[in-house]
C-alpha cells in the first residue's frame, strides 16, 4: 500500500504539533483568543471597548467597559503589551470551548494628563482561562479569568527608566 506513507507522515506531523494546528476547530479557537487579546490591548489603550464586541460576547464587553470606566475616572488608561502566548489546553465541545493559556504581559497606567508621571511598569506571567462560544459563525470570548499571576519586575519600576 504505497499511498499510506504520506498519510502516516501527516499523522506524525500532527502528533508532533500537539494536534492544535492540525485540528481546525482547535486552531480556530486559539486564534479567536489571540484576536481577543489584541482587541483588548487596543481597548485598554483607547478606553473604547466597542471594537471588542467583534471578539467577545456582551457580558465580557460589559466587564471590560467597567474596568475602562474605572481607569478613566482615575485619569488613566492602561498601556499593555502581550509579550508571549502559549495555548496549554484547548477543549472544543460543539459550540463551546475552553482555552487555557500561559501569557506574559507588560503593562502600566498612562495618565490622561501628560504632566502626570506614568504608573509603575508591571511584567507578569499569567495563566488565563477563556470560555468561548460559537456565535454567528465566529468564536467569541464569553468570559476570561486569571488563574494565576506572577509579577516579574522589581517594585517601583517605571516605564521611563
User: Can you give the CATH number for the domain in which 54 is found?
Assistant: 3.10.450.240
What is the model's pLDDT at position 25?
87
Is 156 part of a structural domain of the chain?
no
Do the Cβ atoms of 92 and 130 come closer than 8 Å? no
CA atoms lying within 13 Å on the CB side of residue 9: 5
- Average model confidence (pLDDT) for the chain? 87
DSSP conformational letter for 44: H
Q: Is residue 64 part of a domain?
A: yes
**Total residues found in the chain within this entry:** 161
In a domain, residue 39? The reply is yes
Rounded average pLDDT over 45-60:
96
CA–CA distance from 139 to each of 23, 30, 86, 96, 129 (Å)? 15, 9, 18, 8, 15
Res 18 pLDDT > 70: no
The residue-averaged pLDDT of 105-124 equals: 94
Does the pTM surpass 0.75? The reply is yes
Give the number of domains in the chain.
1
Q: What percent of the chain has pLDDT over 90?
A: 76
In a domain, 35, yes or no: yes
20 pLDDT more than 50: no
Task: Let me know if residue 118 belongs to a domain.
Answer: yes
Contacts 24+ apart (CB under 8 A), 50-55: 54/138, 55/140, 55/141
Q: Which domain holds residue 123?
A: 24-151
Lowest mean pLDDT among 17-21, 36-40, 139-143: 17-21
Residue 18 lies in a domain: no
Report the C-alpha gap between 156 and 146 in whole angstroms: 23
pLDDT beyond 90 at 11 = no
Angle CA(134)–CA(41)–CA(44) in degrees, nearest 5? 110
Residue entry with cell 501569557: 103
3: in domain: no
Note whether residue 7 is domain-resident: no
Amino acid at each position: 500500500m504505497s499511498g499510506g506513507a504520506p498519510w502516516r507522515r501527516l499523522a506524525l506531523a500532527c502528533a508532533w504539533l500537539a494536534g492544535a494546528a492540525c485540528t481546525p476547530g482547535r486552531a480556530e479557537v486559539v486564534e479567536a483568543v489571540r484576536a481577543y487579546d489584541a482587541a483588548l490591548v487596543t481597548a485598554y489603550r483607547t478606553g473604547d471597548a466597542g471594537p471588542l464586541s467583534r471578539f467577545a460576547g456582551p457580558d465580557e464587553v460589559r466587564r471590560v467597559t467597567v474596568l475602562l470606566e474605572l481607569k478613566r475616572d482615575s485619569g488613566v488608561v492602561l498601556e499593555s503589551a502581550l509579550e508571549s502566548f502559549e495555548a496549554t489546553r484547548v477543549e472544543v465541545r460543539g459550540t463551546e470551548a475552553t482555552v487555557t493559556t500561559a501569557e506574559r504581559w507588560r503593562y502600566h497606567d498612562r495618565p490622561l494628563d501628560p504632566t502626570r508621571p506614568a504608573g509603575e511598569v508591571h511584567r507578569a506571567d499569567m495563566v488565563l482561562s477563556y470560555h468561548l462560544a460559537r456565535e454567528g459563525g465566529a468564536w467569541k470570548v464569553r468570559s476570561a479569568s486569571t488563574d494565576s499571576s506572577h509579577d516579574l519586575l522589581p517594585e517601583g519600576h517605571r516605564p521611563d527608566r
